[in-house]
A and B are shown apart, each in its own frame.
Chain A
Amino acid sequence: MVEVKNLKKSFGNLVVLDDVSFNVQTAENFVVFGRSGTGKSVLLKCLVRLMDPDKGEVVIDNKNVLQLSLSELNELRKNIGFLFQGAALYDSMTVRENLEFPLIRHFNFTPLEREKKVKEVLERVSLELAIDKMPSELSGGMKKRIGLARSVISQPKLMLYDEPTTGLDPITSKEISELIIELQKSLNMTSIVVTHDLLCAKIIADRAIFLHDGKIHGEGTIEQLTTADDDLLKNFFTDQHIDSNNRSK
């Protein structure tokens, strides 16, 4: 489904991604670990050309993303959902308008069909009552849910998540992670999840990579990564463990 080859991206002198390659199978849940500032968001943005990488190749659904024209790219993007770190809800629109926005523009649904779709997807994220609220009236967790609903409403084949649980309390984190898995199963999507939250990854991941200094440092199941005999990985996961213990106190 997704093939990334030798991806490179730098800003001025700062090399953020330095030769990153990986494959994601259809219907797989793929997790990208990494500390803050290692370029996880940059990686996701390069996949959908929100940023252009300097070098390398990205193939999604057998299409070479970096060589598509804008209209071809937009066709591809209609099949991709993206949940941004802060949910990125349009703050001048109600929840309903947020959800309808992609539908109105890309599909010829009647208003009734649209209404049905909106209600259905809100039910999936258990927020039917928020339909007429403005984003500013929602809590962080609720925003994430609505963001999730907005990304899946057009039934994408591929979902990209940028730190879906960062900034949420452990219980909400767990709920969101479970929701992601549930949606992934029922809509049969492929997912790439960028995170530094081990709890979230444990729930979601089929397979994971660890990004460090612009390179992939370790690849495998969560089990394999957490038990690997490698200082970097050990450090990363031990800190996490203490961190999550502190949080639950």
Chain B
Amino acid sequence: MKFADSSNPELTKFEKKVNEFFETISGLSLFSILFLKNIFKPPYEIEQIRKHMDELGIKTLPIVSVTGFIIGLVLTMQTQPVLARFGAEAFLPGSVGISIVRELGPVITALIFAGRVSSGIGAELGSMRVTEQIDAMEVSAINPFKYLVVTRIFACTFILPLLTVYVIFIAFLGGYIAVVLVQNMSIEYYTGAIVRAVQFGDAIPGISKTFVFGFIVGVVGTYKGYTATNGTEGVGRASTTSVVISSLLILLFDMVLVKITLWLWPTV
């Protein structure tokens, strides 16, 4: 694997940054292609994938639970008086539910996931790179890309949608608490209102895009870690830049995917 060279000492700082940017873009694309090439080749490393999924779940569950709950609660608290102004309070569970399912649940879960997981993967693989553990794996005739990178990207891609579904439910719960604080509403009526309002065309694209977000987090973290250089300093950089890049890419892809979704499922 060869990556373009941004370490040429004759470049100015700005030129280096620009170079680095294009290097990252091409590196990320290369990693995505290599992932797809490797994922269908045995050995499948099921054991490793399971282990990573477990770890990722345990690592992020507490923080996404708290966030999901508060988002649901606060969003409902904010929306309630606005709807009341138009005498449309009956729409409260439905409108909050749609916002959460279509946008807030997926994106906020993904951003938290990026912050927590992408940095962790960057640091983990980065330190394996600079302490030559990845080289050690390679000389013992084990494909480190498969063992370390493919398994992590796969785990991220499939754990994030699960987390998102969970967060959406927790947010509904938070929303219900907020409703009950100001008015009398049975849980049956609340869930009924959400179920009636949230359509398939809201849920499917909302959840589907999180596969893409999970993939982004995995690819960015593994790429930054796997290609880390310059000792411990490089490990730190791999970890922080992973968070920045994956968060930006998530928002960017969100924009694109929302546009595509609206075009595929025009909402009435």
**Please, which residue of chain B has its CB at the minimum distance from the CB of A154?**
B140
Q: Does B7 contact A50, Cβ atoms closer than 8 Å?
A: no
Q: Is B268 an interface residue (CB 8 A)?
A: no
Q: How far is the CA of A82 from the CA of B137 in the complex (A)?
A: 10
- Tell me whether A88 and B135 are in contact in the complex, defined as CB-CB below 8 angstroms, given that A12-B5, A12-B7, A12-B8 are known contacts: yes
- Tell me whether A82 and B7 are in contact in the complex, defined as CB-CB below 8 angstroms, given that A88-B131, A102-B142, A105-B142 are known contacts: no
Q: How far is the CA of A48 from the CA of B131 in the complex (A)?
A: 18
Interface residues of B in 106-160 (CB under 8 A from A): 124, 127-128, 131-133, 135-142
CB-defined contacts of A48 to chain B, threshold 8 Å: 139
Q: Could you tell me the distance in whole angstroms from the C-beta of B39 to the nearest C-beta in chain A? A: 17
Q: Does B141 contact A88, Cβ atoms closer than 8 Å?
A: no
Residue of A80, A85, A86, A92 touching B139 (CB-CB under 8 A): A80
Q: Does B5 contact A84, Cβ atoms closer than 8 Å?
A: no
Q: Is A67 an interface residue (CB 8 A)?
A: no
Q: Does B132 contact A86, Cβ atoms closer than 8 Å?
A: yes
Which residue numbers of B lie inside 8 Å of A, CB to CB? Answer: 5, 7-9, 124, 127-128, 131-133, 135-142
How many A-B pairs have beta carbons closer than 8 Å: the answer is 53
Chain A, 11-33, contact with B by CB distance < 8 Å: what is the 0/1 string? 01000000000000000000000
Q: Does A50 contact B139, Cβ atoms closer than 8 Å?
A: yes
Interface residues of A in 60-104 (CB under 8 A from B): 74-75, 77-78, 80, 82, 84-86, 88-92, 101-102
CB-defined contacts of B127 to chain A, threshold 8 Å: 91
Q: How far is the CA of A45 from the CA of B132 in the complex (A)?
A: 11
Q: Does B140 contact A90, Cβ atoms closer than 8 Å?
A: no
Q: Could you tell me the distance in whole angstroms from the C-beta of B216 to the nearest C-beta in chain A? A: 24
Q: How far is the CA of A157 from the CA of B135 in the complex (A)?
A: 19
**Please, which residue of chain A has its CB at the minimum distance from the CB of B138?**
A50
Q: Is A249 an interface residue (CB 8 A)?
A: no
Q: How far is the CA of A85 from the CA of B137 in the complex (A)?
A: 15
Residue of B7, B132, B141, B142 touching A84 (CB-CB under 8 A): B132
CB-defined contacts of A247 to chain B, threshold 8 Å: none
- Tell me whether A88 and B140 are in contact in the complex, defined as CB-CB below 8 angstroms, given that A12-B5, A12-B7, A12-B8 are known contacts: no
Q: How large is the interface on A (under 10, 10 to 19, 20 to 34, 35 or more residues)?
A: 20 to 34
Q: Could you tell me the distance in whole angstroms from the C-beta of B171 to the nearest C-beta in chain A? A: 34
Q: Does B132 contact A88, Cβ atoms closer than 8 Å?
A: yes
- What is the interface of chain A mostly: helix, strand, loop, or mixed? loop
**Please, which residue of chain B has its CB at the minimum distance from the CB of A52?**
B2
CB-defined contacts of B138 to chain A, threshold 8 Å: 50, 77
Q: How far is the CA of A241 from the CA of B8 in the complex (A)?
A: 38
Q: How far is the CA of A136 from the CA of B95 in the complex (A)?
A: 52
CB-defined contacts of B124 to chain A, threshold 8 Å: 92
Q: Could you tell me the distance in whole angstroms from the C-beta of B5 to the nearest C-beta in chain A? A: 6
- Tell me whether A101 and B140 are in contact in the complex, defined as CB-CB below 8 angstroms, given that A12-B5, A12-B7 are known contacts: yes
Q: How far is the CA of A89 from the CA of B128 in the complex (A)?
A: 9
- Tell me whether A88 and B5 are in contact in the complex, defined as CB-CB below 8 angstroms, given that A77-B141, A105-B142 are known contacts: no
15 CB-based A-B contacts, threshold 8 Å:
A12-B5, A50-B135, A50-B138, A50-B139, A82-B135, A82-B140, A84-B136, A88-B136, A90-B133, A91-B127, A91-B128, A92-B124, A101-B140, A105-B140, A106-B141
Q: Could you tell me the distance in whole angstroms from the C-beta of A165 to the nearest C-beta in chain B? A: 17
CB-defined contacts of A45 to chain B, threshold 8 Å: 135
Residue of B9, B131, B139 touching A77 (CB-CB under 8 A): B139
Q: How far is the CA of A102 from the CA of B136 in the complex (A)?
A: 11
CB-defined contacts of A88 to chain B, threshold 8 Å: 131-133, 135-136
Residue of A91, A102, A105 touching B133 (CB-CB under 8 A): A91
Q: How far is the CA of A45 from the CA of B138 in the complex (A)?
A: 11
Q: Does B142 contact A82, Cβ atoms closer than 8 Å?
A: no
CB-defined contacts of B139 to chain A, threshold 8 Å: 48, 50, 77, 80, 82
Q: Does A74 contact B141, Cβ atoms closer than 8 Å?
A: yes
CB-defined contacts of B7 to chain A, threshold 8 Å: 12
Q: How far is the CA of A101 from the CA of B133 in the complex (A)?
A: 13
**Please, which residue of chain B has its CB at the minimum distance from the CB of A71?**
B141
Q: How far is the CA of A75 from the CA of B140 in the complex (A)?
A: 10
CB-defined contacts of B137 to chain A, threshold 8 Å: 90
Q: Does A85 contact B132, Cβ atoms closer than 8 Å?
A: yes
In the A-B complex, list the 3 residue pairs whose CB atoms are closest, starting with the nearest: A74-B141, A88-B136, A88-B132
CB-defined contacts of A78 to chain B, threshold 8 Å: 140-141
